Structure 1
Amino acid sequence: MSLKKIQTIIAGSPTKVGSIDVQELLPYEKGFYDPFLVFHHGIAKADPNIPIHIQGVGPHPHRGFSAISFIYKGGIHHQDSRGNNHIVYEGGTQWIHAGMGIIHSERVPADIFEHGGVQELLQVWVNTPAAHKMDQPHYYPATKADTPTITTEDGLVEILVPAGELDGTKGIIPTFTPVNTFMVNMKAGGKYTFQIPVTHQSLVYVLSGRVLYNNETTITAKHMALLEKQGNEFTIEALENSALFIGSGEPLNEPIAAHGPFVMNNQTEILQAFRDYQMGKMGVLIEETN
């Protein structure tokens, strides 16, 4: 075993997506972080003076990648052009293999005020291999109760594994290529050593709190550590109560052509995606409003 070092720590920049205040970490100054394309940390406080069904992110298309929401607070009401209509709450995951095209919305659930009135989530885009970009779309929801979980003996660390594998615990969401996603909650003093394949690109993002990486580097809230490929393990210790996300995946090493909501391999395919969307080939979404 050898330690995996930090390549760089990034803070991202603020932006807005629908009614959600977002910290955008990826893409960063060097571009994408193959296979990770986009990484957004979003927080939205529900407004009691605005109809709930129009809060959040309205209908929009995707093609060529997986769009994933990891819910840390509140919930998300997902609807799409394939007929899926589903709500997932805190600790859950909504994973969309967009394939050849899907239109979806991510709204605030009608009962959001019963769940604290705040929606906090990570939206992560994972690239799809060229061979599967035009597959039929699939939607995979997972509640916290559904999600395989590791809890340390001292009760200070809880790790949800929606996809991938950690120390023999396997996630339930299928992926086209090896991808690990770990939602981690740590109480002060909690510690865990993560094993990551040396072939993976990997990252650590701290949503809240403060953690110590390999007993030498402090990572604070809303900062992401991009890790060196060399090495296959690292230890995280919580210096205070912390929520974080760890992701890793094998790079596709394929050409990337990205424009707005479409990620393909060349510009011709991007133009075709816009044409197909305009022609209604990705379906139609008429949202439920109650």
Structure 2
Amino acid sequence: MVAVTADTLVLPRVKDAGLGDTERPVLAVSTGPTGFEGEGFPVRRTMAGIAYQHLDPFIMMDHMGEVDYAAGEPRGTNWHPHRGFETVTYLIDGQFIHQDTHGGGGVIREGSTQWMTAGAGLLHIETPPEKLVEDGGLFNGFQLWVNLPAADKFSTPAYQPVEASDLLLLASADGGALLRVIAGEITGADGVVHKGPGSTHTPITLLHASVAAGARLSLPWQADYNALAYVYAGSGSVGTQGEPIHAGQLAVFGAGDRITLAADARQDSRTSSLEVILLGGRPIGEAMQQYGPFVMNTRAELQQALEDYQRGRLGVIPPDAIMPHVYSGDREPTDRP
């Protein structure tokens, strides 16, 4: 299921390929390993094994799902700290509820995005709501970590919800693909620059594309950004040489100002299109040190972050705190004689 759909015939079109454009070559196609995160929900580590020089300013992106939970199975995270970067959570199916120690919070619904700037540090929780835990249901989404430059590592924490209705919707030049732009800029067919709703410290572009079976997507891309494409459903090819790619794989592009993808004419029974998360950003070009939920520039800064967390300097869980819902089916009866 795709959260946001639209008629591509009436949407603004992106700029098609032209003379002087430089297609980005495909440097690698990789398949990320799977594992578990938080309280035990399944994820695919989409960027695992890719050298940071090709990812900068991105640190990691987890694909959460796609999974059809039975009652009592949905899991999220409990309260935990962050410092030095931004988390971007985009949901396609299911819901999360969020709260942080800097006043941010709300429900992340299908098609919506939560953009949290951890900056100097905070505590937060992301957990499925009671109904999803009790009833089960489909869950599918992504969490992206975006690095902050040294000058912004200790910025004031911030929270911005990007609702499904806020997304910038565009169509490919031939109308065969729908683009949902969360952040960044895309040049239209008329030369107008279309800008997504997300406000970012680090310049990036982030969008979700649905490419119809047999269709091709040629997209202008800023030359000073890197470029990555993660396929979460369907199959097709990337680059002008037609490198095969399928669900669960990430493509890394080289230098240029245009990226090309195509959907196979026949898709599997679970999808009618090639579903892709496209992202790129201007590399920060600074040393990056990570220890769990802390991303800094030096080991000394990591040690300080850990000490600050242990001393409660990143925040204290509030008295009205959201907590993970406990499935009622696991509880002991309360009406025993």
What TM-score do you get using the length of structure 2 for normalisation? 0.79
Matched AA of 2:47: L
Aligned residues: 286
Deviation of 1:144 after TM superposition, in Å, equals 1.1
Distance 2:131 2:228 in 1: 33
Distance 1:29 1:193, change over 3 A: closer
1:268 aligned residue: 300
Select 1:38's aligned residue among 37, 48, 60: 60
- 2:219 maps to 1:185: no
1:288 aligned residue: 322
2:235 aligned residue: 210
- 2:102 maps to 1:82: yes
Q: Which protein has the larger Cα radius of gyration, Structure 1 or Structure 2?
A: 2
Deviation of 1:226 after TM superposition, in Å, equals 0.8
Matched AA of 2:221: I
Superposed, which structure 2 residues align to 1:156-195 within 5 Å?
156-167=176-187, 168-195=193-220
Q: Which moved more, 1:26-35 or 1:241-250?
A: 26-35
Deviation of 1:271 after TM superposition, in Å, equals 0.8
Superposed, which structure 2 residues align to 1:87-236 within 5 Å?
87-112=107-132, 117-152=137-172, 156-167=176-187, 168-215=193-240, 216-228=242-254, 230-236=255-261
Taking only the aligned residue pairs, the percentage that are identical comes to 30
* Preserved contact between residue 108 and residue 119 of structure 1 (Cα < 8 Å): no
What per-residue deviation string (whole Å, max 9, x for no partner) do you get for residues 251-285 of structure 1? 10001111110000101111111111111111123
What per-residue deviation string (whole Å, max 9, x for no partner) do you get for residues 137-165 of structure 1? 11111111111111358764221111101
2:270 aligned residue: none
Deviation of 1:30 after TM superposition, in Å, equals 2.9
Distance 1:98 1:189, change over 3 A: same
Select 1:26's aligned residue among 27, 44, 47: 47
User: What is the root-mean-square deviation of aligned Cα atoms in Å?
Assistant: 2.2
1:9 aligned residue: 29
Deviation of 1:130 after TM superposition, in Å, equals 0.4
Matched AA of 2:168: P
Deviation of 1:186 after TM superposition, in Å, equals 2.5
Matched AA of 2:71: P
Distance 2:136 2:245 in 1: 27
Q: Which moved more, 1:151-160 or 1:95-104?
A: 151-160
Matched AA of 2:89: S
Matched AA of 2:249: H
Distance 1:114 1:81, change over 3 A: same
Unmatched 5+ stretches in structure 2: 1-20, 188-192, 268-272, 326-337
Unmatched 5+ stretches in structure 1: none
Distance 2:215 2:133 in 1: 31
Q: Which moved more, 1:147-156 or 1:250-259?
A: 147-156
Distance 2:68 2:77 in 1: 13
Distance 1:7 1:214, change over 3 A: closer
What TM-score do you get using the length of structure 1 for normalisation? 0.91
